[in-house]
Structure 1
């Protein structure tokens, strides 16, 4: 795994998550709210996987 690419992906995922969390869901449909929550959950999984792989393959 390329460490630089992994860090770029992490930054991108964090930005996507922040954008989704900053949306005003006050007048949104239930489906849209669910889709956002599902995407945030997927992003969290991806972030955790990348962080775990960085720790696993990091050289001491």
Structure 2
């Protein structure tokens, strides 16, 4: 994913929601979460954004 930090954050969050709604706990959602973590480690997204993305991934992977 390319672009400004804010655009990256929004793209990851939007994609996590789309994948979660479409397929729940899936390999694609897990991969997206891993990619977001790597982006966070590189400084490409903020910790707050990563936490939001992780939360969305977790909610769809392990629904209540």
User: Structure 1 length normalisation: TM-score?
Assistant: 0.50
| CA shift in 2, pair 1:24/1:43, >3 Å | closer
| Corresponding residue of 2:37 | 21
Mapped to 2, the partners of 1:25 and 1:46 lie a distance apart of 23
Distance 2:27 2:43 in 1: 29
Cα-Cα RMSD: 2.9
Structure 2: gaps spanning 5 or more residues: 1-21
- For structure 1, list consecutive stretches of 5 or more residues without a partner in the other structure: 53-60
Post-superposition CA distance 1:4-45 (Å, at most 9, x none): x748x611100101101112446567xx22011111111011
Q: Which has the higher contact order (CA 8 A, sep 6+)?
A: 1
Alignment equivalent of 1:35, drawn from 19, 34, 49: 49
Q: Distance in 2 between matches of 1:41 and 1:10?
A: 15
Which has more radius of gyration? 1
User: TM-score if structure 2 supplies the norm length?
Assistant: 0.48
